[in-house]
Amino acid sequence: MNDVFKALVGSRKFWITAIVLVSLAPLVATGKMSLQEYTTKVEHLAGLLVAAIAIEGAAEKWNASPPPPPPVNVKVVGEGS
């Protein structure tokens, strides 16, 4: 569980989400933003984060080096005969 917490705290996506949610909450509490608007913004944020994670995953696969070819047994003709 400790590793999960460390990974979460080290995630930029987590901190972006936390900052947005905390910064919008006072607007809802003071009545400057309706709960429906808040929910819509949270849904948009979730969609953006899912897209960011998908793009990041695709980029990692795209940039991954291909596996090395299997070893080939080569017999040199003329040596040691």
pLDDT tens, 58-76?
888 877 777 777 778 777 7
Instruction: Give me the mean pLDDT over the 41-52 stretch.
Output: 88
Tokens representing residue 15 in the block: 């901190």
Is the pLDDT at 11 greater than 60, yes or no?
A: yes
Is the pLDDT at 41 greater than 80, yes or no?
A: yes
Is the pLDDT at 14 greater than 60, yes or no?
A: yes
Residue 40 pLDDT grade (very low, low, confident, very high; cuts 50, 70, 90): very high
Instruction: Calculate ∠ Cα 43-47-50, nearest 5°.
Output: 135
Domain boundaries, the chain: 2-63
